[in-house]
Every structure is written in structure tokens, then in C-alpha cells.
Amino acid sequence: MSQTLNKLKRIFLLREISSFIMLFVVIMVFFAISPLFLSRQNVGVVLEIIPELGIVAIGITMLMISGEFDLSVGSVFAFTPIMMVLMINWGMHPILGITTALVMALGIGALNGFITLTFGIPSFITTLGGMMIWRGAVLLITGGWPPFFPPEINTHIIVGRIGIFRTSIFWYAAITIIIWFILERTDFGNWVFATGGNRVAARAMGIETNRVKLFNFMLCSMLAGFTGIIQAFRLRATIPSMGGGLEMEAIAATVIGGTALMGGVGTVIGTLVGSFLIRVIDNGLVMARAPSYWFRVFIGIATISAVILNTYVRERAKKMRC
């Protein structure tokens, strides 16, 4: 008896648990409303759009655990593929175009980190500025019109079809596993938690917290750029407004998954579940024929309830006697 209770307690102490429960409930509700929700085609549709939020959210998770924010991911999400397309249109080899665009995204992350850490200002401010600057840059460069998408680009490795899947879901899976591994199974992961959890202690123990943060800024920005390329390839178009509001969805997914706003706490699996939850609600509302404007309302409700549930479930579990 006490052993089962103990097991139960450990499950309820998991950060991800409330988002897991919510995801399950939401899926069941949508399935009850529309049995087509779990049809082969529809599952395929959901899996097709999930990476375009999920990968961005994973970058945000790493950065947020180390105690920083990035609000510029939505703009980088647009800037990167648009630069890529323009460079290919100027005659650059597609592979080189993709690489150069990703390096630019990496550079934007480095700039975010450099400014934040050098001047000691909140990354909320730096990246809020970045969000406007890079969106502005996109609009300036394109004049607000989608640039011509070069038809010769081979999009197969990134978004090619395999049955009901697109390859982007495998990229998502691989990135999730790699980041999970770094965070949970390497010394660098330990430094990320320590940096966000107590910067003074981490420094006193010889951890170079600024380098940890800078790395995460760069990683987050590059993942956002890469995800932008995924969406551009899927749509075979780059729209200057793409990725608008994505930063908020990514932060919501991260917070729903149990990552602390103030850093030091969080999991990749939680963020994975949070991203699924957001996209499932998105799709489920369509399947239930609800007006699409409901989406934002529900995501708002889901975010707040997940965090409340998270706090409440853990408090209760701590008090469970075994």
C-alpha cells in the first residue's frame, strides 16, 4: 500500500504531469465531439504543424531554464527563411543559402546574448527590441510582399512526405531527444539548471554562467530560424508576417509544460506536451467547427489552468504521506 502510494506520489511530483492530464482530457473531449479528430488524416495534419511550434518552444525552454527570455523568435522565424530565399534568388547554392541564413539566426542570438549580458539589462527588453527590429527588417527588405520562392529548392529532407508524416516530425523528434540528453545527461545541462536556479552559487562553483546563457541565446535563435525554414518549405512560400505571435505561443507551451518563468526549473518533455496541447486545441476547435477565433481564448485558459494545476498538484503530492 505504502509502496503504491509512494509511486503515485512520485508521479504527481513530476513537473509534466498536469500538462499530460490536460492533453489527455482535451484529446478525449475533441474525440467525443468529432470522432474524425483521431482519424488517420487528421492525426497526420496535427503532426505536420506541431514541429513548427515545438522546435521553437524547445529552444525557449533551454533559455528560460537558464533564466533568460527570447521574444524575438517569431521575427527570426520570418527573417531566416526570407534571407535564405533572397540569397538563393541572387544565385547562391541552396545548401549554402540555408547555411548562411542559419548562421544569421545564430548571429542574432549571439547579439541578443551579448547585449543582455554586457549591459546587464533584462533579456525581456533586449529581445522585445529584437522582435521589432527583425520584423521591421523583414518588412523593409521585402517591401511587405512575399519574395519569389525558387522552385528548384529540394525541400524533401526537411518536409518530404512519408505516408501520413512529413520528415519535419523526425527533425522535431531528433532535436527533442538531443536537447533532452544535453539537459538531463550532460554536465552542460547541470550548468544550465544551476545558472538559472542560483547564479551566484553557480559562479562560486566555477560555472561560467555568461557562457551558458550566451550558448542558449544562440541555440534558441538558431532553432527558431530553422523552424522558420521548415514552415517556408512546407508552404513553399515565405510570407513577411509569418511567425507573428509565435513567441507567445512558444512561451505558453513552455510554461504549460512546467518550466518556471524565473528559471532553474523545467523539462523538455513538459514542453513537448505543452506544444502538443496548443496545436491539438487549435486543430480540435476546427474539427469541432468552432469559429477559429476561439483558439486564442482556449490557449489563454489552458496556460493559466496548467500553471495553477501544476502548483496545486505538486503541493498536494508533497503532503501525501507514505
Q: Where along the sequence are the contacts to other proteins (CB under 8 A)?
A: 182, 185-191, 193-194, 197-198, 200-207, 260, 264-265, 318
Minimal distance, residue 104 CB to other proteins, in Å: 22
- Looking at the Cβ atoms of 1 and 204, the one nearer to other proteins is 204
Spatial separation of the C-alpha atoms in residues 51 and 22, rounded to whole Å: 20
Tell me the HSE value of 183 on the side-chain side, using a 13 A CA sphere.
26
- Looking at the Cβ atoms of 121 and 205, the one nearer to other proteins is 205
**Closest Cα partner for 170 from 16, 27, 55?**
55
Spatial separation of the C-alpha atoms in residues 262 and 267, rounded to whole Å: 14
Minimal distance, residue 101 CB to other proteins, in Å: 23
Minimal distance, residue 204 CB to other proteins, in Å: 6
Tell me the HSE value of 308 on the side-chain side, using a 13 A CA sphere.
6
- Give the strand pairing for 161-162 and 165-166: antiparallel
Minimal distance, residue 186 CB to other proteins, in Å: 4
- Looking at the Cβ atoms of 52 and 68, the one nearer to other proteins is 68
Contact criterion met (CB below 8 Å) for 164 and 47: yes
Q: What is the DSSP letter of 198?
A: -
Residue found under cell 520562392: 149
- Looking at the Cβ atoms of 265 and 288, the one nearer to other proteins is 265
- Looking at the Cβ atoms of 120 and 206, the one nearer to other proteins is 206
Minimal distance, residue 203 CB to other proteins, in Å: 7
Minimal distance, residue 298 CB to other proteins, in Å: 30
- Looking at the Cβ atoms of 101 and 214, the one nearer to other proteins is 214
Minimal distance, residue 263 CB to other proteins, in Å: 9
Rounded (10°) CA dihedral 68, 74, 76, 78:
180
Spatial separation of the C-alpha atoms in residues 279 and 271, rounded to whole Å: 12
Tell me the HSE value of 36 on the side-chain side, using a 13 A CA sphere.
10
Q: In angstroms, how far is CA 306 from the centroid of its own chain?
A: 17
- Looking at the Cβ atoms of 162 and 200, the one nearer to other proteins is 200
